[in-house]
DNA sequence: TGATTACATGTCCCTAGGTACATGTCCTTT
DNA sequence: AAAGGACATGTACCTAGGGACATGTAATCA
């Protein structure tokens, strides 16, 4: 995980492990029940669309690789050129292993962070607009999750496993989004006072 | 921003804009005052180290590119082979423009999300360990920011501009981390009840 | 029945980012 | 004065991911 960061080389073994996020993302969704590439792309889009774009080319490619590795297998060659995959036992074992395994990589993308980091460089009006949008964004995310939970409850996603715990997951997501929205709201109420350094 | 996501092509112009995060990150830090590549790598590491690894090869490369574009210039060819850069006026204008500009790309990395998304697949023990670590992680982040704020107050980072608003920025970061830690704590107290689907 | 549109899967290329490894410089210690 | 290490900057490569573009299939509708 992230070598090459300051200072002389520390003794470490090449990891190769970790990452492969998409691979495990697909595996996890398939653990809920069989689905086709298109289904998966849609599910990703619905649940994570705002924070993670599902790119179908990658999804189809990864599905084939997963099948080659025997972690998933063809469930049905439905009509309309729609191939559904089903997770295999070794697939379930693999994702369990991955979930249990070591550390989470908390690396984030820089771009969203920078706006917050550079509050002090922004014109008050821009900052205001920015924070208002953040509030909207995260509130919207909370709603999106709630909506998904409802659809799930109505059984719209077919033969999912007993979803008691899935509910908790989604409630957690809703709460997280709300926390973020609250934060943005706080920030917008505590904007730095005028007198920020201008271009001089 | 994220094309290639489901459905037929929507009419959009190639962006080219956006991204370039590192570029603007460096520009923003240089707006606080002159610094060398090494300084910048250290600053990144100290403030964002836990969530964004500063990679010096990229930093040095980007600095040269910024200099070529006239957004920064050499401040002093200090001893010890230490070249400090200073932001130019067009540099300040550029980062202001970028900050004011349109939408933030909220794309995140998948890996950290997946663990939360797949709560329901985890063995209770693993989930417990995982959430405990999350709490530690975000609490640690909050402390890291506070520490940075203190050092900043003691003027350890040289000739920063009047830092009134910078303080607010850091307080915001601390609060954000705390919100995340709170969330993780909540989640660990509301773990899904036993009976999760086993391998069958 | 021909056109249009949503569904479904794919190829290909490019860039940002991650990492190993090379190198030079100055200070401290023996 | 030789040696070890923190400081400082770089080269080179490789992979994951982002996005343009191609293609085929079924349903709808004018």
Tell me whether residue A8 is in a domain: no
Contacts of A161 in chain B (CB under 8 A): 197
Report pLDDT for A14: 37
Tell me whether residue B105 is in a domain: no
Q: What is the mean pLDDT of residues B117-121?
A: 80
A35 and A71 together in one domain: yes
Q: Is the Cβ atom of A162 within 7 Å of strand D at any atom?
A: no
- pLDDT tens for B165-194 read 566 777 888 888 888 888 888 888 876 555
Tell me whether residue B114 is in a domain: yes
Q: SS3 sequence, B94-120? A: HHHHHHHCCCCCCCCCHHHHHHHHCHH
Domain hosting residue B64, numbered range: 21-100
Q: Is the pLDDT of residue B73 over 90?
A: yes
CATH code of the domain covering residue A26:
1.10.10.10
Tell me whether residue B194 is in a domain: no
DSSP A83: E
Tell me whether residue B145 is in a domain: yes
Tell me whether residue B155 is in a domain: yes
Closest nt to A4 (CA→C1')? C19
Last residue of a domain, one of B68, B100, B132: B100
Tell me whether residue B7 is in a domain: no
B119 and B178 together in one domain: yes
Q: How many domains does chain A have?
A: 2
CA–CA min distance B166, chain A (Å):
6
Closest nt to B63 (CA→C1')? D9
d(CA B106, C1' D29) / Å: 40
Tell me whether residue B71 is in a domain: yes
Q: What is the ipTM of this complex?
A: 0.79
Contacts of B56 in chain A (CB under 8 A): 4-6
Q: Is the pLDDT of residue B134 over 90?
A: no
B123 and B185 together in one domain: yes
Report pLDDT for B197: 44
Instruction: Please name the residue of chain B whose CA is at the shortest distance from the CA of residue A133.
Output: B103
Report pLDDT for B126: 85
Q: Is the pLDDT of residue B72 over 90?
A: yes
Is the pLDDT higher at A165 or at A35?
A: A35
- pLDDT tens for A18-77 read 567 889 989 988 988 888 999 899 888 877 888 888 889 999 999 999 999 999 999 877
Contacts of A113 in chain B (CB under 8 A): 48, 51-52
Is the pLDDT higher at A140 or at A78?
A: A140
Long-range contacts made by residues B45-50, C-beta under 8 angstroms, separation at least 24? B45/A5, B45/A6, B46/B144, B46/B148, B47/A117, B47/B144, B47/B145, B47/B148, B48/A113, B48/A117, B49/A5, B49/B144, B50/A106, B50/B137, B50/B140, B50/B141, B50/B144
d(CA B5, C1' D19) / Å: 9
Q: What is the mean pLDDT of residues A182-190?
A: 85
CA–CA min distance B92, chain A (Å):
7
Report pLDDT for A165: 53
Report pLDDT for A72: 93
pLDDT band at B43 (very low <50, low <70, confident <90, very high): confident
Q: Is the pLDDT of residue A186 over 90?
A: no
Closest nt to B82 (CA→C1')? D8
């Amino acid at each position: 995980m992230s070598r090459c960061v300051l200072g002389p080389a520390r003794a470490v073994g090449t990891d190769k492990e970790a990452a492969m996020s998409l691979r495990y993302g697909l595996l996890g969704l398939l653990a809920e029940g069989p689905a086709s590439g298109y289904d998966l792309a849609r599910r990703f889009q619905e649940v994570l669309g705002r924070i993670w774009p599902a790119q179908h080319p990658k999804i189809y490619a990864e599905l084939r690789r997963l099948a080659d590795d025997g972690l998933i297998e063809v469930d049905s060659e439905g009509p309309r050129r729609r191939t559904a995959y089903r997770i295999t036992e070794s697939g379930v074992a693999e994702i369990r292993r991955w979930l249990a395994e070591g550390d989470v990589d908390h690396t984030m993308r820089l771009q969203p962070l920078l706006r917050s980091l550079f509050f002090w460089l922004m014109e008050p009006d821009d900052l205001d607009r920015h924070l208002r949008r953040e509030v909207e964004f995260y509130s919207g995310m909370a709603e999106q999750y709630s909506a998904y939970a409802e659809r799930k409850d109505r059984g719209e996603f077919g033969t999912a496993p007993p979803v008691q715990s899935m509910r908790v997951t989604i409630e957690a997501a809703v709460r997280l989004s709300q926390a973020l929205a609250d934060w943005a709201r706080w920030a917008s109420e505590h904007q730095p006072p005028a007198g920020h350094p201008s271009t001089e």
